Amino acid sequence: MKIGIIGGSGLYKIENIEIIEEINLITPYGSPSDSYLHARYKNFEIYFLPRHGRKHSFLPHEVNYKANIYGFKLLDIERIIGISAVGGITKKPGDLVLTSDFIDLSGRINTFYNDKVVHIDVSEPFCPILREAILESSKNLNIEIYEFGVYAQMQGPRLETPAEIRMLKILGADVVGMTLVSEAILSRELEICYAGINVVTNYAAGIKEKKLTTTEVIENMNRNLEKVKKILFNAIEKIPTQRNCPCSVALKETGM
């Protein structure tokens, strides 16, 4: 089975993982953020893509999300797990959140179908089967992860104001970020399963008086990345081979 993973480069460093090759792709939508790192883990073919490029060259509003996701399609990948660092609105630094819903305020046009009328259904925005595999793994490993969480996507690259965070809280957002929703929507448009694991690295603006230092944010991310890796590689083994989820038939009845 092939699995796509979008996240930081820290994810590559894991025991039992065999790096096979780097794949450079050019898609009809341009170049992805970096080459896809093809690796093998047990019987699974894993393809990593650093969302912002390995040298962190692309800010959230500069990432070519369409190329990144289409690249996975070209590699025949039907399942993607995205790892993101987020600001906590109702969650605190160090928490892990398996997003269950989203609010998109980024103003980005997240579609492959500019010239066709395609309205994909996102009443279940993240793949229920991938979510289930991740939840089951975290339970088995005794690693806490919030089963539900609403991700608010903002355009960036600046962080939010305290008033914006108050607004997001009223709207029901639990975490805030700039990337995950674009990936989830574009994946669904290509009938690719997508689920997101979020690491809360800091409080969103105005939530707590005390600001975290950059060092604390990086420490939070690194400490939690170990937990995320454990969940991720355990979850991969729990994903059923056959796809039986809304994502796999997302284009049915859309006229495509």
Q: What residues line the site for Zn ion (CB under 5 A)?
A: 127, 193, 245, 247
CB of 173 to Zn ion, least distance (A): 23
CB nearer to Zn ion: give 105 or 127.
127
CB nearer to Zn ion: give 129 or 165.
129
CB of 133 to Zn ion, least distance (A): 10
Nearest Cα neighbor of 164 from 150, 183, 155, 253 is 155
Burial of 181 (0-12, 13-18, 19+ CB in 10 A): buried
CB of 206 to Zn ion, least distance (A): 36
Contact 189, 113 (CB under 8 A): yes
Q: Give the pair of three-digit tokens for residue 140.
A: 């088995």
CB of 244 to Zn ion, least distance (A): 8
CB of 75 to Zn ion, least distance (A): 17
**Owner of token pair 């953020």:** 33
Q: Find the angle CA(62)-CA(145)-CA(153) to the nearest 5 degrees.
A: 25
- Three-class HEC string of 165-209: HHHHHHHCCCEEECCHHHHHHHHHHCCCEEEEEEEEEEECCCCCC
CB of 24 to Zn ion, least distance (A): 28
CB nearer to Zn ion: give 78 or 160.
78
In sign, the C-alpha dihedral spanning 77, 225, 96, 210 is: negative
CB nearer to Zn ion: give 63 or 127.
127
- CB-based contacts of 188: which residues, under 8 Å, 6+ apart? 120, 122, 125, 194, 247, 250
CB of 129 to Zn ion, least distance (A): 5
In sequence order, what E strands does the chain have?
Answer: 2-7, 17-23, 36-41, 44-50, 79-88, 96-98, 101-104, 150-153, 175-177, 193-203
CB nearer to Zn ion: give 150 or 193.
193
**Owner of token pair 């939690």:** 224
